[in-house]
Amino acid sequence: MTDLFRHPNLHPLLHRPRSSAFTLIEVMISSALMALIVVSAYLCLRAAVSSQRLIEPRATVLQNARVAMSLMTADLRCACALSKESPFLGLHRMLGETEADNLDFGTHNFTPRHTREGDFCQVSFYLDQDEETGQFVLWRRRNPTIALDALSGGSREEIARGLVGLRFDYYDGVDWHETWGEVDRPGKTESSRRLRSNLSGMPEAVRITLWFDPNPRAKAAESPEKTTVEPPLVFQTVARLNLAAHSQPGSASGSDPGSQTSPSAANEGRN
């Protein structure tokens, strides 16, 4: 009997290999790891989709703001007198609780395409509310023909939408003003003008401030009760008027819009 166990080839049934299989604990661990991987992948995908939804509308806002700033600064750099009665007109106005300034001026930033058109164009920038969506739209009115009424006529084009504010500030060489020029100049008395520098000629520079809704599509999709208030995206730039010195000889041309010089400092520099 002892010899039989010493020679395994004589009894193959006594030395069969064990069958491989997973135990219950190994199956549970594998299932837990698989569930952890699936949940992690889902969370990563959800975060990526949320980031895309957050970035896409803001990227559109950045592009709209860049185009709007580029168009307005190009027109303002070549600004000229709008008419003899209103060389340059900037009004401060409110549409409800929204700041929506108006700006009217003439510019040489224009290429004629039809007869009776030159390199001069009457331009207006203003906000108007869309009745269907309720959004504020930035419009530019252009009139390449010399009209009797410089504040009307021509055609308008949409520059950007989704704005929540538009503001213009005007620099006269010393201070910034929120308005420029007078609408009803004949009706004004001489004493009411008080020799203010922002009532005639053109400013040396214009500061443009735009407020954009960071995610206007979310407001349109959600109900008013679920709408979350987000701070607007603010864009600001300063455009210098190259022809301002020709319209206002008494202005301090060449000064920096961001700096101010007091009379005492000027007197010290002369001594």
Mean predicted lDDT score pLDDT of the chain: 77
Q: Given a cut of 60, is residue 119 above it in pLDDT? A: yes
Report helix, strand and coil shares of the chain as percent, to nearest 5. 35, 25, 40
The string of pLDDT tens digits covering residues 142-161 is 988 776 677 777 889 999 99
Cα separation, 233 vs 215, whole angstroms: 10
Q: Given a cut of 70, is residue 222 above it in pLDDT? A: no
Lowest mean pLDDT among 124-128, 129-133, 208-212, 231-235: 129-133
Cα separation, 140 vs 3, whole angstroms: 109
Indicate the pTM of the whole model: 0.68
The string of pLDDT tens digits covering residues 19-46 is 567 788 888 888 889 999 998 888 888 8
The string of pLDDT tens digits covering residues 50-91 is 777 777 778 888 899 999 999 999 999 999 888 777 788 999
Q: What is the pLDDT of residue 17?
A: 57
Q: Given a cut of 50, is residue 262 above it in pLDDT? A: no
Sign of CA dihedral 217, 219, 222, 228: positive
Sign of CA dihedral 85, 89, 93, 98: positive
Domain-by-domain residue ranges, the chain? Answer: 55-254
Cα separation, 89 vs 135, whole angstroms: 25
